[in-house]
Structure 1
Amino acid sequence: MGNIATNTIQQLEKLNSRGMDVDYSDEKVKEILLDIGYYRLGFYWNPFEINGNYQFREGTKLSDVVKLYYLDVDLRNLLIKYINRIEINFRTKLVYYVSNKHKYSPTWFIHPDIMFNSFISSFDQHYSDEFKRNNKPIKLHHNKYINDKYAPAWKTLEFFTFGVVLKIFKSLKDNDIQERISKCYEIRNLKKFINLFETIVYIRNVCSHGGVLFDLNTPKGISILPGINFNDNNRHSLDSTIKIILFILGKISESRKTELETRIKELFESHKDNEVLKSIIENKIGYEFE
């Protein structure tokens, strides 16, 4: 039956049969199901299921599930805004320091003296015909400079994803430049720096693709930094990731760090009076209320 599509009436019946307290009118439930979707909402009622038959814990309300969904949406939108600030800052530093050290090699990202061959050999996967067509400044560059195989780094990297930009950083042969950029964020250990930025890129991708955040665990443990305490020593939790984002953001702009910290606190505090959501924020996200 799980492979057969159901309509909103059948979906409502399934929720009732599984013990959900559907505390909305039938019209409102239909609106929610056609807006968010039964399958997607399932990610948010999963914490309320008590057995393999997908029965819900007594007292489970659909309104709490929907509130959890919108908490996730708000948190996702909040994080992506500030991660974008980190992404731009990191890209700018990478382009600036490498381009100025290699002034006569504007396409240093494919130079074998500067980059490892493992990256160069796969570069055209990123710099495809579609990439050139879809990014106007790149297209204009090639229309003007018809003999250029690639646009200069300060144009090209502007249109690469955060993940590709980090890959370029990791593929540099020059450890001095890598360490110089790492120290801009007051991180002296290059392996830790890469671990932290891989974590931020991972969260950025989850946010960008509408992934579920509240029960997220990072695939790699987050590197320990002086002055950052991970609750319950959990270096995979979303709360630990948020602390890393705040740390890096603070090296770019202390005011933006304070702003994000305040907005996250306000978001979580706004759900504090709901015991169901408060428990999820504490036990799934890992956040500690004051």
Structure 2
Amino acid sequence: MKYEKKPITIDEQINLLVERKLFVSDIDRAKRYLSTIGYFRLTGYMYHLQEKDGSHRFKEGVCFNDIIVHYQFDKKLRTILSDYLERIEIALRSKLTYYYCINHGFYWYTKYDLYTNKHVYNSINKEIKNSYEKPQERFLKFFKQKYTFETLPPSNMAMETLTLGKLARLYKGLRNNDQKNAVAEDFGLPVTILSSWIIYLNEVRNICAHHGGYGTEVLQ
């Protein structure tokens, strides 16, 4: 099927919403929101306010402000979740570095026998190596200039280069041992639960960061 829909102006977008029985009390305000947020994104906050018959017609009494209220709630919720997810991410980095460094040294992540999943070993070490070869962070640039003998950064720096998704893969791919258990215990969870939760929370974080999870209506 070929996409043949035509772009429409903000005035036409408002007319379309009004035709669908949406009450718009302040046209200028609606124009401001449509111009700064965009019709496409706002459609994600319209679906549950519309009839379920495929007509896109709004339920009786629904107004433009109802859409904005839901949008603002979602924005605040994403902010709150992002804050707490960042705390979890930072804590995971810190605990991995602490427990594994104390027992296996600063370059523990390069030790093949600490992993049960060798693909994860290769992926993590490749990621860290690539970050170190062309460092973007100032701390990596400084370390590389000072410690010219080293080809990789120590764990306290290496973990900072990994996204939450990579950290989740790393933790899951590590062999079960006292250090892996200690990390989980600090979170008050069994290893298997923490591992699955981190993977899930990474998906939540990506939704919050990239504004995923809302509907995507195509203009008609």
Measured against the shorter chain, the TM-score band is 0.7 to 0.9
Output aligned runs, 1:229-248, within 5 Å: none
Using a 3 Å threshold, how does the CA distance of structure 1 residues 42 and 132 change in structure 2: closer, same or farther?
A: same
Q: Corresponding residue for 2:160?
A: 158
SS at match of 1:6: coil
Q: Corresponding residue for 1:278?
A: none
Aligned length: 210
Q: Corresponding residue for 1:283?
A: none
Q: Corresponding residue for 1:167?
A: 169
SS at match of 1:154: helix
Superimposed CA distance per residue, residues 71-126 of structure 1 (whole angstroms, 9 cap, x where no aligned partner)? 010111112112212221121111100111102xx222222122332112223245
Using a 3 Å threshold, how does the CA distance of structure 1 residues 19 and 126 change in structure 2: closer, same or farther?
A: farther
- 1:20 counterpart = 2:22: yes
Whether the aligned pair in 2 keeps the contact of 1:132 and 1:138 (CA below 8 Å) is no
Output aligned runs, 1:224-263, within 5 Å: none
The counterpart of 2:179, out of the listed 172, 177, 180, is 177
Give the Cα–Cα distance (whole angstroms) in 1 for the partners of residues 170 and 213 of structure 2. 28
Q: Corresponding residue for 2:58?
A: 56
Q: Corresponding residue for 2:83?
A: 81
Give the Cα–Cα distance (whole angstroms) in 1 for the partners of residues 73 and 212 of structure 2. 13
Output aligned runs, 1:98-177, within 5 Å: 98-103=100-105, 106-115=106-115, 116-123=117-124, 124-125=126-127, 127-129=129-131, 132-177=134-179
Partner AA of 1:65 in structure 2: I
Using a 3 Å threshold, how does the CA distance of structure 1 residues 82 and 29 change in structure 2: closer, same or farther?
A: same
Rg bigger for which structure?
2
Partner AA of 2:111 in structure 1: H
Partner AA of 1:180 in structure 2: A
TM-score, normalized by length of structure 1?
0.66
How big is the alpha-carbon RMSD for the aligned residues of Structure 1 and Structure 2?
2.2
Superimposed CA distance per residue, residues 187-209 of structure 1 (whole angstroms, 9 cap, x where no aligned partner)? 2x322222222222222221122
Q: Corresponding residue for 1:202?
A: 203
Structure ranking higher on relative contact order (CA contacts 8 Å, 6+ apart): 2
Using a 3 Å threshold, how does the CA distance of structure 1 residues 131 and 89 change in structure 2: closer, same or farther?
A: farther
Q: Corresponding residue for 2:45?
A: 44
